């Protein structure tokens, strides 16, 4: 408690004003030395894991979208830099719990040779470091770009296979249902569509899993850039799943029409490979039309998310 000596009551208002304006929690910036030490430790710990992850992005077309995920997360952080600069830095020791959990997951992943666990632990470790050095307010502000990084991690093979085969069957059913309406009789056996001229096998590469994951990633990016309403962003991300399935079914239907009415060899050659890019463009157009329809039904100016 501040006591004012007798005879100095005239300066009491000045002392009270200065006391009221002293910040109890001054903002403390993290030094470049701390950042360099943390970055060096993370690189030493996760260097081999990151190298293997980047190699999978490069060689596996199913996960080539992974290159864009950290770039977009960095872009979001850069866009929010002014808001982040106004958030008070309040480090919390509770970040050690997240950090410890991430390191435990990393150790389990390394010992069990489970790439998904080792890669996922990076996000837990990063979250723990944010809370430990910057606080929970910073963590809340960075939650979206941090959560978006999940899309850069390839899903485990056992889950990938469980998703791929049902997609093959679904696409086969849709194509087999539409082709007779276009004058092509079919007989479907599982994921094989028997046409009059030849059987059409909906293989794993034609299941649409590649376009599904890429389109979901792009739908989230598109929603963030084009609409401020959280509900609309979530709706676009969810809608990317049926859109990807419908677009891939169009690819199979188009292949069946080429086989039946033109040339089977050409349909399985260049045109079959180029159909992937064409169908992905169709999916993007469908996503854009869906967003425009939502904007017409529910204009953005009517109610904005805080």
Q: Is residue 162 part of a domain?
A: yes
- In whole angstroms, give the CA distance from residue 95 to residue 126: 10
- Establish how many alpha carbons lie within 13 A of residue 54's alpha carbon, considering only the half-sphere containing its beta carbon: 7
Structure tokens at 298: 């529910």
Domain boundary among 153, 174, 202: 153
- Do 146 and 219 sit in the same domain of this protein? no
Q: Residue length, the chain?
A: 306
| Sign of torsion over alpha carbons 55, 124, 228, 299 | positive
Tell me the per-residue pLDDT of 102-122, one tens digit each, with 9 for 90 and over: 999 999 998 887 889 999 999
Distances (CA, A) of 63 to 71, 160, 165, 236: 15, 11, 18, 21
**DSSP alpha helix (H) spans, the chain:** 12-20, 32-59, 68-79, 81-85, 95-111, 115-133, 136-141, 143-148, 157-178, 209-226, 230-261, 264-268, 270-297
Q: Are residues 149 and 37 in the same domain?
A: yes
Domain-located, residue 102: yes
Residue 173 falls inside a structural domain: yes
- In this prediction, residue 269 carries a pLDDT of 56
Number of domains the chain contains:
2
pLDDT in tens, 262-300: 766 666 655 566 666 777 888 889 999 999 999 999 887
Q: Are residues 134 and 46 in the same domain?
A: yes
Written as six digits, the tokens of 111 are 């010992």
| DSSP letter, residue 153 | S
Residues 190, 133 within the same domain: no
> Is the confidence at residue 159, as pLDDT, over 90?
no
Asked if residue 99 has pLDDT above 80, the reply is yes
* Same-domain status, 70 and 167: no
Dist CA 109 CA 96 (whole Å):
20
In tens, the pLDDT along 60-69 reads 877 888 899 9
Residue 190 and residue 94 in one domain: no
Residue 139 has pLDDT above 90, yes or no: yes
- Asked if residue 77 belongs to a domain, the reply is yes
Residue 210 CA to residue 60 CA, distance in Å, equals 10
pLDDT value of residue 264 = 65
Are residue 166 and residue 132 in the same domain, yes or no?
no
The 10s digit of each residue's pLDDT in 256-268 is: 888 777 766 666 6
Q: Domain range holding 220? A: 158-297
Of the residues 99, 122, 153, the one at which a domain ends:
153
From the list 57, 69, 71, 70, the residue with the least C-alpha distance to 210 is: 57
Q: Are residues 53 and 146 in the same domain?
A: yes
pLDDT digit string, tens, across residues 183-200: 888 888 877 888 887 777
Residue 14 has pLDDT above 90, yes or no: no
Q: Is residue 27 part of a domain?
A: no
Domain co-membership, 138 together with 203? no
Residue whose tokens read 């430790």: 41
Within a domain: 171: yes
Which region, left, alpha or beta, applies to residue 5 given φ > 0 means left and ψ of -120 to 50 means alpha? beta
Q: Across residues 3-31, what is the average pLDDT? A: 44
Mean model confidence pLDDT for the chain: 81
pLDDT of 8 higher than 70? no
pLDDT band, residue 202 (cuts 50/70/90): confident
Residue 170's pLDDT band (boundaries 50, 70, 90)?
Answer: confident
Top-confidence residue, 230 or 29: 230
Answer yes or no: do 143 and 183 share one domain.
Answer: no
Which long-range CB contacts under 8 A does 76-82 form with residues at least 24 apart?
76/144, 76/145, 76/148, 76/224, 77/142, 77/145, 80/141
Look at residue 26 and tell me if it is in a domain.
Answer: no
User: Rounded to whole angstroms, how far apart are CA atoms 78 and 301?
Assistant: 26
Categorize the per-residue pLDDT at 27 as very low, low, confident or very high, splitting at 50, 70 and 90. Answer: low
Q: Are residue 49 and residue 138 in the same domain, yes or no?
A: yes
Percent of the chain with pLDDT over 70: 81
Question: Taking the model in full, what pTM does it have?
Answer: 0.77
In a domain, 28, yes or no: no
DSSP 142: T
Question: In terms of domains, do 121 and 234 share one?
Answer: no
Mean pLDDT of 216-241: 91
Q: Tell me which of 153, 183, 209 is where a domain ends.
A: 153
For the beta sheet containing 199-201, the strands, ordered from the edge strand earlier in sequence to the opposite edge, are 187-189, 192-194, 199-201
Question: What is the crossing angle of helices 209-226 and 157-178, to 10°?
Answer: 90
Give the pLDDT of residue 151: 92
Residue 232 has pLDDT above 70, yes or no: yes
pLDDT exceeds 60 at position 211: yes
């Amino acid at each position: 408690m501040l006591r004012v000596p007798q005879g100095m009551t005239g300066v009491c208002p000045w002392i009270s004003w200065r006391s009221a304006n002293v910040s109890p929690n001054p903002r403390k910036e993290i030094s470049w030395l701390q950042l360099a030490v943390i970055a060096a430790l993370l690189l030493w710990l996760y260097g081999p894991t990151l190298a293997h992850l980047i190699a999978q992005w490069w060689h596996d077309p199913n996960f080539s979208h992974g290159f864009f995920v950290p770039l977009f997360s960095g872009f979001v952080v850069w866009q929010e830099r002014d808001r982040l600069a106004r958030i008070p830095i309040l480090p919390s020791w509770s970040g050690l719990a997240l950090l410890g959990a991430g390191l435990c997951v990393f150790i389990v992943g390394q010992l069990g040779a489970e790439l998904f666990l080792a890669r996922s632990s990076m996000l837990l470790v990063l979250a723990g470091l944010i809370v430990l050095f910057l606080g929970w307010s910073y963590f809340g502000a960075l939650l979206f770009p941090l959560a978006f990084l999940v899309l850069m991690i390839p899903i485990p093979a056992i889950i990938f296979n469980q998703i791929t085969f049902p997609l093959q069957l679904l696409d086969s059913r849709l194509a087999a249902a539409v082709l007779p309406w276009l004058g092509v009789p079919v007989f479907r056996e599982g994921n094989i569509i028997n046409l009059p001229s030849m059987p059409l096998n909906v293989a794993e590469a034609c299941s649409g899993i590649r376009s599904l994951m890429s389109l979901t990633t792009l739908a989230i990016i598109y929603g963030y850039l084009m609409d401020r309403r959280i509900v609309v962003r979530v709706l676009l991300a969810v809608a990317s799943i049926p859109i990807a399935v419908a677009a891939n079914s169009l690819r199979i239907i188009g292949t069946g029409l080429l086989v039946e009415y033109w040339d089977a060899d050409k349909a399985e050659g260049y045109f079959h490979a180029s159909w992937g890019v064409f169908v992905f463009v169709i999916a993007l157009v469908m996503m854009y039309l869906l967003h425009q329809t939502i904007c017409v039904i529910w204009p953005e100016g009517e109610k904005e998310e805080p």
